[in-house]
Amino acid sequence: MKDGFVRAAAAAPRLRVADCAFNTKKIIETIQAANELDVKLLVFPELSVTAATCGDLFGQPSLISAAAASLGEIVKASIGSDTVIAVGAPLLLRQKLYNCAVMLQNGRILGVVPKDCAADRNFAPAPEENFEITLCGQSALFGTKLLFCCEDMREFCFAAELGEELWAADQPAVSHAFAGASVIINLAADFDTAGKAAFRRNMAAAASSRLVCGYVYANAGHGESTTDLVFSGQRFIYENGLQLNEAAPFSSDELCYSELDLSLICSERRRKNSFANGSCDGYDTVSFSLSSSETALSRKYAALPFVPEDEKLRAERCEEILSMQAYGLAKRVEHSRAKALVIGLSGGLDSTLAILICVRALKILGRPMTDIAAITMPCFGTTARTRGNAEILAERIGARLRTIDIANAVKVHFEDIGHSADNFNVVFENAQARERTQILMDAANQEGGLVIGTGDLSELALGWATYNGDHMSMYGVNGSVPKTLIRYLVRFEAENTNDQQLREVLLDVLDTPVSPELLPAKDGEIAQKTEDLVGPYELHDFFLYYAIRCRFTPAKILRIAETTFEGSYDRTTLLKWLENFYRRFFSQQFKRSCLPDGPKVGSLTLSPRGDWSMPSDGCSDLWLAEVKALY
């Protein structure tokens, strides 16, 4: 429960048709296994006490009586555990038989949810309003509009639907979510046909994404009748459209479990105005308690959250992002009637991506590559490797290349302001960056063109840019692209070009250490490596995503980082760079308050005109104090 995590599980124990005693034994064994795993929400399939394929045997009083007795045994077996259990059973109420999900915990029946769109002629449709019933000697609410809410964790509120209600036109989960349910459970007994497993996944992914919720689905499996149909026991858990775990069709009957991040779900809902006017009309709330515990995380967090893990999806995403960047630039060029695209080409990663975007934009506009004015501006820290790569890159693309050595101009500037050329401080570095920007701006005036910015999202988050130097441009194509993703975009272009020399230079750029090259080189090699100074970009992009996109606390970020980067970074190292991230993120906001225009390509941008609004003098003490307390 710490940090908003709740472990949920979907079960499909081996059953026998109409053998309530056998089924009850298996259900109780599964409950015991779930307790050992610290599961807090356990979902069984539809009609799991009897099996779902009893057909007209549901009309037999003997079966219904046996099911009621079995339910009593299951309730008794739950005593001593705070796991909330949802089990499927037929219930006879007011001379009508209902297909029900019975919620129970620690010997208490919390409530009963009947199936609303029952297609089986043996069961009555659910009543329109909730009412109170007596079950196993206890009073409980009965109806479709029930919310089960945890007193100890306000984010944990679940509701139930059954089977094919998942894809009903008036899916119950919609009203459940608007009423406040952060988790939807589904007790199902849906038969399988070819393609059905993928269909269920798609439906659950869509529902959990659209409703911003967790979705726990448990389908009937081994033991159901195969007279005419087959049941696969497919189970899965989704969160906001992301599959956390799945027991594939026809797999073992072990528990399928993962941890739902309910604080993330509720944070995402607060972003969406559609949930602000949700109605609880007709709903009753049933409260329950959970013992406080720190659930060990079995779910995995992506080390590179901005980069899709699946190779095919990653390729599609790269093409999509490159297209968005290019079309954004093409529109700006068209609107401004720019005669040229002026870019500072350093031979580094960011400027390489920026010039590749220029190429795509000009192709969209049907213009020649000679409309790109690439300028390389060597100075004290420039190495032969980066300069050579810049020259080859411009040549293979077909851009016009100018080389302007800025060393003398910077030395004159040092004399003007009275700064020693032997003092390698921030003045030494920033003077070079600003000289380069001045040249680009003036060259753009000469060309009647636009200066294309190269700075990326990671640099903006850390403030790793010279104010009014590389911080400024006329259109920043990389402004919403993090450093870790830029590598994959450049590699994608390298893998998809037919120009062998271009491919080779792009791959060499990828192998070059990230550096602003503002300090003198040592023996011809790069002396100033960015990640040695500000920290690894894979960590900072990880921190950026979960701190800003997901709004996690420093303690929660450290917790998932320790799991994700186990074996790569120890706790002390993670804390060092996490503290550095927060310190720089807050202190450097003033640079983000006046950014040039640029396209948003992902779910996170730091543009003051877009997703991120923050005062430049915001205080970081609260966050830094939490980080320091973690040492």
Pair (224, 330) in one structural domain: no
Pair (268, 323) in one structural domain: no
Pair (49, 139) in one structural domain: yes
* 263 domain residue, yes or no: yes
User: pLDDT by residue (tens digit) across 420-452?
Assistant: 999 999 999 999 999 999 999 999 999 999 999
Please give the pLDDT value at position 276. Answer: 66
Pair (84, 156) in one structural domain: yes
* 121 domain residue, yes or no: yes
* 306 domain residue, yes or no: no
User: pLDDT by residue (tens digit) across 3-48?
Assistant: 999 999 999 999 999 999 999 999 999 999 999 999 999 999 999 9
As to burial, measured by CB atoms within 10 angstroms (0-12 exposed, 13-18 middle, 19+ buried), residue 468 is middle
| CATH of residue 593 | 3.40.50.620
Q: What is the total count of domains within the chain?
A: 2
Pair (524, 572) in one structural domain: yes
Please give the pLDDT value at position 278. Answer: 66
Query: What DSSP element (H or E) covers 507?
Result: helix 500-511
Instruction: Report residue 417's pLDDT band, with 50, 70 and 90 as the boundaries.
Output: very high
Please give the pLDDT value at position 277. Answer: 67
Instruction: Report residue 273's pLDDT band, with 50, 70 and 90 as the boundaries.
Output: confident
Query: Which residue range forms the structural domain that includes residue 548?
Result: 311-628
Instruction: Report residue 528's pLDDT band, with 50, 70 and 90 as the boundaries.
Output: confident
- Cβ atoms of residues 575 and 631 within 8 Å: yes
As a whole number, the mean pLDDT across the chain is 94
- Cβ atoms of residues 200 and 232 within 8 Å: no
* Nearest alpha-carbon partner for 324 in 190, 211, 477, 458: 477
Among the candidates 226, 254, 288, a domain finishes at 288
- Which stretch of 115-119, 320-324, 545-549 has the lowest confidence by average pLDDT? 115-119
Pair (229, 374) in one structural domain: no
Please give the pLDDT value at position 118. Answer: 57
Pair (271, 360) in one structural domain: no
Would you say residue 119 has pLDDT above 70? no
Please give the pLDDT value at position 478. Answer: 97
Pair (343, 194) in one structural domain: no
Instruction: Report residue 82's pLDDT band, with 50, 70 and 90 as the boundaries.
Output: very high
- Quick one: what percent of the chain has pLDDT higher than 70? 99
| CATH of residue 73 | 3.60.110.10
Instruction: Report residue 509's pLDDT band, with 50, 70 and 90 as the boundaries.
Output: very high
* Nearest alpha-carbon partner for 431 in 444, 445, 418: 418
Among the candidates 288, 303, 324, a domain finishes at 288
* Nearest alpha-carbon partner for 542 in 525, 556, 523: 556
User: pLDDT by residue (tens digit) across 333-389?
Assistant: 999 999 999 999 999 999 999 999 999 999 999 999 999 999 999 999 889 999 999
Instruction: Report residue 524's pLDDT band, with 50, 70 and 90 as the boundaries.
Output: confident
Q: How long, in residues, is the chain? A: 631
| 611, amino acid identity | D
- Which stretch of 117-126, 297-306, 404-413, 457-466 has the lowest confidence by average pLDDT? 117-126
What is the C-alpha separation between 30 and 255, in angstroms, rounded? Answer: 8
* 284 domain residue, yes or no: yes
What is the C-alpha separation between 403 and 381, in angstroms, rounded? Answer: 15
Pair (320, 262) in one structural domain: no
Pair (98, 176) in one structural domain: yes
Pair (58, 21) in one structural domain: yes
pTM: predicted TM-score of the whole model, two decimal places:
0.91
Pair (247, 353) in one structural domain: no
